Amino acid sequence: MFKKRFLGLGKLRSDEGWTVSYGHKSVRYKNDRGTFEFAFEDEILVPKPHHVKGPSSPLDPTEIWQIVDRIKRALQADGQVVRIYGAENE
């Protein structure tokens, strides 16, 4: 389940403790590992994160796809249509 803080605006906060927020042609995902930005434009989410803040240890592919799935679920809960760039059968 996801919640927004103020009148439906702001970050999408998961019950699991991570957040997703909108940026300019991007979304930001934040958890205890740090903040990562993903390109998001015209319903397409690009699964190549840019590290923004926090510890600089790289994410392994399994972690990246877990984050992409979380972002997709959050955005869909917010009424967005999301397709993953390069994903088969999307």
pLDDT single digits (tens) 18-60: 999 999 999 999 998 899 999 999 999 999 999 888 877 788 8
Whole-model pTM? 0.86
Largest CA distance in the chain: 36
Range of the domain at 22: 2-84
* Residue 47 placed within a domain: yes
* Residue 59 placed within a domain: yes
Domains contained in the chain, number = 1
Q: Spell out the residues 6+ positions from residue 1 whose beta carbon is closer than 8 angstroms to its own.
A: 14, 15, 77
d(CA 86, CA 38): 14
Structure tokens at 61: 């592919």
d(CA 49, CA 52): 9
* Residue 60 placed within a domain: yes
* Residue 48 placed within a domain: yes
Structure tokens at 41: 């434009």
* Residue 90 placed within a domain: no
DSSP H helices in 1-90: 61-77
